[in-house]
Amino acid sequence: MDVAPVATPPARLLLGPGPSPVHPRVLEAQARPIVGHLDPWFLEVTDQIAEMLRTVFRTHNRLTYAVSGTGSAGMETAVVNVVEPGDTVIVGVNGVFGGRLADTAQRAGAEVVALEEPWGRIVPPERVASALKAHPDAKLVALVHAETSTGAHQPLEEVGALLRDTDTLFLVDTVTGLAGVPVEVDAWGLDVVYSGAQKCLSVPPGLAPITFSEKAEAVIDRRSTTVRSWYLDVTAVRRYWGGERAYHHTAPISALLGLHEGLRLVLEEGLETRWARHAEVGALFQEHIQDRDAELLAQEGHRLPQLTTFALPDGIEEAPLRARLLHEHGIEVGGGLGSFAGRAWRVGLMGEGATHANVDRFLDALDELLEG
């Protein structure tokens, strides 16, 4: 073909389920000249990233790094390293990402016990307790902390306490949770926890922060079969991240420089301050959207502030309205997935996007479209 034209992005306010708006400092970091992935300077940068991730995950876990792929690569890394064929795994399925976890575990050879709940509901901790009684040999329990398809905010502490003194691991998807709502990896007894760069960390998509507890590392060290993925095998990757710095695969340098700067911004703000900002902005948004006859779809008392799903008032077609919001107002929001498709919107107020000004801008645009 001919040379394509320069790709100059249109201005968008990203208020969908991710990616979230990116701070100019992070974009600038991605434009720095690159160095080699084994350069002593770059290895220091990776150490700093790992250490900042430990702070954000609230953990002392040695094996803490960023997977060279998006959040779903983080999910696959979490699963394939601890699961061996024939293992029983208990998975909460109350939205797209619980379903994806179950699928990923099956592909790794697991026998999946799916705890299905209606979309928008949490998985009650007592259901997990019953499942564990029925399957005391379960290799792991997997729950989605922040279900991006529904906006449900899964409580984790009770299940963590239940598993702490057992041989069962606790695997948690906090792709949309990390840095937006409290995540306490050590205090809550979480063993394998992954996230994504492009949600409340406000870094472009392409990296998946992950952490493994000592208990999880011990399970990995006792594997009797080879990890099914070469690319995601932590027994090799950990020799680069924090190990003897052996070459495994070429680290995505520019993306990691972006993550480094994004983590600096998170820590400059302070984690608690950032959680409080998300809580306040999200509550304000949920109050105002209900004033407009929208129905919140996540279970009351268990709603994420940073990601809200709601059904539009009756009689409004969601897709054409969403397209107008994008094209006339430059605002991106997400449509519903799965059982919410065709009737719901997903609005993310994540990371840099979680501001009063963005709530106002969104509501003004919506009001104008609904009146027009």
Closer residue to its own copies, CB minimum distance, 76 or 318: 76
341 is an interface residue for its own copies by CB under 8 A: no
Count H helices and E strands in the chain, helices first: 13, 13
- In the list 144, 146, 263, 365, the residue contacting its own copies (rule: CB under 8 A) is 263
Q: Pick the stretch among 14-22, 125-133, 272-280, 304-312 that binds its own copies (CB under 8 A).
A: 14-22
- Minimum CB distance to its own copies, residue 178 (Å): 15
* Residue (108 or 163) nearer to its own copies, CB: 108
Residues 180 and 304: beta-carbon distance below 8 Å: yes
At its nearest, how many Å lie between its own copies and the CB of residue 333? 9
Taking Cα atoms as reference points, which of 242, 327, 321 lies closest to residue 63?
A: 242
Does 226 sit near its own copies (CB under 8 A)? Answer: yes
Q: Scan residues 266-325 and list those touching its own copies (CB under 8 A).
A: 267-268
The answer to whether the beta carbons of residues 58 and 183 sit under 8 Å apart is yes
Query: Could you tell me which of 186, 145, 140, 192 has the C-alpha nearest to residue 163?
Result: 140
Annotate each residue in 28-67 with x if it binds its own copies (CB under 8 A) or - if it does not, as one string: xxxxxxxxxx-xxxx--x--xx-xx-xx------------
Q: Which position among 260, 277, 278, 346 is part of the footprint of its own copies (CB under 8 A)?
A: 260
- Binding to its own copies, residues 75-114 (CB under 8 A): 75-76, 100, 103-104, 106-108
Near its own copies by CB under 8 A: residue from 134, 187, 230, 293? 230
Q: How far is the CB of 10 from its own copies (least distance, A)?
A: 5
Q: Give me the amino acid identity at 357.
A: A
Six-digit token string for 37: 């992935």
**Closest by alpha carbon to 157, among 182, 132, 135?**
182
Residue in 1, 133, 272, 315 binding its own copies, rule: CB under 8 A: 1
CB of 229 or CB of 339, closer to its own copies = 229
Bridge pairing between strands 344-348 and 307-311: antiparallel
Under 8 Å between Cβ of 155 and 181: no
Residues in the interface with its own copies (CB under 8 A) total 84
Cα–Cα distance measured from residue 317 to residue 261, given in angstroms and rounded to the nearest whole number: 40
Q: One-letter amino acid identity for 182?
A: P
205 contacts its own copies (rule: CB under 8 A): yes
| Contact between 9 and its own copies per CB under 8 A | yes
244 is a contact residue toward its own copies (CB under 8 A)? no
By CB under 8 A, is residue 261 in contact with its own copies?
A: yes
Q: What is the 3-state secondary structure (H, E, C) of 274-336?
A: HHHHHHHHHHHHHHHHHHCCCEECCCCCCECCCEEEEECCCCCCHHHHHHHHHHHHCEECEEC
Task: Please tell me whether residue 357 binds its own copies under the rule CB under 8 A.
Answer: no
